Homo-oligomer: A and B are copies of this chain.
Amino acid sequence: MYGLEDDTRIKHVLVGIEARGGLMAETSYAPRTGAIARVVPETPADGVADVLGAAQAAAAEVGSVAPAVRRDWLEAIARALEEHDDELVALADEETALGEPRLSGELVRAASQLRFYGAVAAEGSWLGATIETEPGLRRVARPLGPVAVFGASNFPFGFGVLGNDTASALAAGCPVIAKAHPAHVGLSVRLAEVATDALTAAEAPPGTLGLVVGMDAGAALVRAEEIAAVGFTGSQRGGLALWRIANERERVIPVYAEMGTVNPVVMTTSAPVGEVAAGFVGSFTMGFGQYCTKPGLLLAPAGRGVPGAVAAALSAAAPQGWSLTAAIARDYAAGLGELLVNGAEKLVETPAQTSGWAGSPAVLRVDAAALKRGSRLLEECFGPVAVVAEYADAAELEAVVSELQGALAASVMSGGDSDPETAALVARLSEKVGRVAVNEWPTGVAWTWAQQHGGPWPATTAPATTSVGAAALERFVRPVTYQRVPDGALPPALQDANPWAIPRRVDGVVS
């Protein structure tokens, strides 16, 4: 409820952010009331240049220290997050209204992620070090250089300034410049400040982490010669806009945009109706439906009363919450309308909050025949709404599945591990998504070695990559082969003595 000038906590001006008279400002609001939460000046052009210069200057050191050193830097950030947890969670809750329990858990998760990526960096498999004494070739991944990170509105800790993209890029040896998200610009500034202090104390070079504020500053990052890659989490509109900007550069750079999708759930004919209905409502209304992995579509066998059961489950749950921003609230209302004019009918709508960025959770029903490629019904509607469609038989189910866009995740809800319909559904859905779950909801995304958070276009602009999990580091490196290079002129990862003690493939043998 106060501007920058009233908040001593964000008076510590970060590199490149200076409050100047007459400049544009980014304003966040408290979703519960609609009142102003924070006002932060946008980063002017010369401020962006300063941040870029600092990142460029840091790149050689960040990229060449032993991965275990960067693990220690990430540990320092994780500890700083934990040390400031009360303040950061309160600020996040004010700007997002996601609730302190959820946000406390998410802060813990963000700290764990930072440690996980640090451990992955130090383990060293991601370097892909490969040595052939004949013909004298040695190959290793090298960091790309400064990375621009555009975090998400819906996970201010997990996918924000210090989220998966930042953690995996730093782990891989790349300085990061984050763009503050307008929905939680105050938190973005504080996160960068807390992390920068921790990095300084841990003796990381200045410029290891930077922040810019404002849409113009963000676009300038994507165009900047110093930037080598872009990580983005958010809407298709936003991600594709950055991808287009990057493709117009003289030196085109990769944009790793992870974008919201419809994440279909398929019930087999023997799946338990009541349990699935309740679980589905819990999943699609989690975080007020503001998950990129929200299941937006349930394909259910006809004749088992699933649409009614889901509607009843929503009425019973009567979830409450707020949209993250005014724009999201407006888009949610509009999206709901678009689903209805595209053939869906409303089965139930539960009461909205009476203040702030409100919106009504809803269950819609649609004929399977209406689910055709290009239909709005097969696109994400960000918020607490889901569509249920009944299929008459396997042929009609296949007809719908064949129309689905690429998605981040899908779930099969079966009648148990011996359900004979499971295998074919898993195989079919794996062609469409980055992750297939059986009898679990798609909403949760663990940060582990085996995770894949991505999927075919348009779930992401780079379907071979993941934005969560150990392989996330691979986005921020490219391999270089050294041919007959004397040992002393090789990078440490390839020297005979293996000073970083990483796994390597030497003459065909991995050890």
Chain A interface residues toward B at CB < 8 A: 125, 128, 130-132, 135-139, 142, 247, 251-254, 406, 417-418, 422-423, 426-427, 430, 433-440, 446, 448-452, 454, 456-458, 461, 463-464, 466, 469-471, 474-475, 477-486, 488-491, 503, 505, 508, 510
Cα separation A446 to B142 with both chains bound (whole Å): 21
Q: Which single member of B131, B457, B477 contacts A251 (CB below 8 Å)?
A: B457
B residues in contact with A427, CB < 8 Å? 489, 491
A139-B452 contact in complex given A252-B457, A438-B489, A457-B253, C-beta closer than 8 Å: yes
B residues in contact with A483, CB < 8 Å? 435-438, 440
Q: Are B486 and A451 in contact (CB under 8 A)?
A: no
Q: Are A477 and B457 in contact (CB under 8 A)?
A: no
Cα separation A254 to B427 with both chains bound (whole Å): 23
Q: Which single member of B450, B471, B479 contacts A471 (CB below 8 Å)?
A: B479
Q: Are B433 and A464 in contact (CB under 8 A)?
A: no
Q: Are A503 and B510 in contact (CB under 8 A)?
A: yes
Q: Are B503 and A131 in contact (CB under 8 A)?
A: no
A480-B452 contact in complex given A422-B486, A485-B436, C-beta closer than 8 Å: yes
Cα separation A439 to B491 with both chains bound (whole Å): 18
Instruction: Quote the shortest CB–CB distance from A394 to chain B (angstroms).
Output: 16
Q: Are A464 and B477 in contact (CB under 8 A)?
A: yes
B residues in contact with A417, CB < 8 Å? 486
Q: Are B139 and A451 in contact (CB under 8 A)?
A: yes
B residues in contact with A138, CB < 8 Å? 450
Q: Are B484 and A438 in contact (CB under 8 A)?
A: yes
Q: Are B484 and A448 in contact (CB under 8 A)?
A: no
Among A130, A418, A485, A505, which residue has the most Cβ atoms of chain B within 10 A?
Answer: A485
Q: Are B448 and A135 in contact (CB under 8 A)?
A: yes
**What are 28 A-B interface contacts by the 8 Å CB criterion?**
A130-B449, A132-B449, A132-B450, A137-B448, A137-B451, A138-B450, A139-B451, A142-B430, A247-B247, A251-B458, A252-B457, A422-B485, A422-B489, A426-B485, A426-B490, A427-B491, A433-B480, A434-B479, A434-B480, A435-B480, A436-B482, A437-B484, A438-B486, A449-B505, A454-B479, A463-B478, A464-B478, A510-B510
